[in-house]
Amino acid sequence: MSAKRVLIIYAHQEPRSFNGAVKDEAVRTLKENGYDVEVSDLYAMQFDATSSIRQFKGKPENPDHYDFQRELRHANKEGTLPKDVVIELEKLASADLLILQFPMYWMNLPAILKGWLDRCLTEKFCFDTARGMWFDHGPFTAKKAMLSFTTGGTASYFSKRGVFGDMDVLLWPIHNTLRVCGFQILPPHILYAPNDVSLPERQKMLSDWSTRLCTVFAEKPLDFVHIDNFDV
């Protein structure tokens, strides 16, 4: 059996940021444990975050009416998907675990990371509604995914009575997006307010993260209602 592969989609501009350190710690630990690790460093790649028409080099399916989803599907069929998307899809195909590593922006993903989802989670490859292949029957049911992120606010801001609202609620649209593709969702790894704590506390955060990753593939995914229990 070949080594498990981990794909980290990393969205921070600054290598010396705490997110950078968290990413480096993951790469180090996972390699030490014998896993293959791949990192997509979105800012360094100058990843195109927008679903603009410019990305498609092939002939559009409908030159008179740009429909991003339809053009993605068409380009997929014709083999003319944008080069950068193809590269990410290849990484995704061989990944056993996907980690999204980011600083929270406006209770959500930074735009560049949202753009990665918008552009890379293509029909047929990552989900196929027409064939009922989504959620628990999605193409990626053998893969796991985890959100790993930092915040500016402390945990109390994200409690059920916090000003930002319950963290589970904020993460639901992102988790459910990954669910559409079939991913098993591991509990998120949340590092609250690294800027507000002491250096030793931050170092503790990094070593706890490393400890968690050593047994990450043994973790039980979160429970979600199985797709067969829905009407659609």
Ligand X SMILES: Cc1cc2nc3c(=O)[nH]c(=O)nc-3n(C[C@H](O)[C@H](O)[C@H](O)COP(=O)(O)OP(=O)(O)OC[C@H]3O[C@@H](n4cnc5c(N)ncnc54)[C@H](O)[C@@H]3O)c2cc1C
* Smaller CB separation from ligand X, 40 or 151: 151
Neighbours of 54 (CB within 10 A): 8
Do the bridges between strand 36-41 and strand 97-103 make them parallel or antiparallel, or are there none, so unpaired? unpaired
Return the residue of 142, 199, 218, 232 that touches ligand X, per CB under 6 A: 199
Residue the block writes with tokens 């990626």: 140
With contacts defined by CB under 8 A, name the span among 42-50, 72-80, 93-101, 143-151 that binds its own copies.
Answer: 42-50
Q: Rounded to an integer, what distance in angstroms lies between the CA atom of residue 97 and that of residue 95?
A: 5
Q: Which stretch binds its own copies (CB under 8 A): 29-37, 76-84, 169-177, 197-205?
A: 169-177
Selected from 32, 67, 168, 208, the binder of ligand X by CB under 6 A is: 67
Dist. CA 142–CA 29, nearest whole Å? 22
Residues 108-127 that bind ligand X (CB under 6 A): 118
Residue 64 interacts with its own copies (CB under 8 A): yes or no: yes
x/- letters, 16..55, toward ligand X (CB under 6 A): xxxx-x----------------------------------
Task: Select from 155, 223, 160 the least CA-distant residue to 191.
Answer: 155
Q: Which helix (H) or strand (E) holds 101?
A: strand 97-103
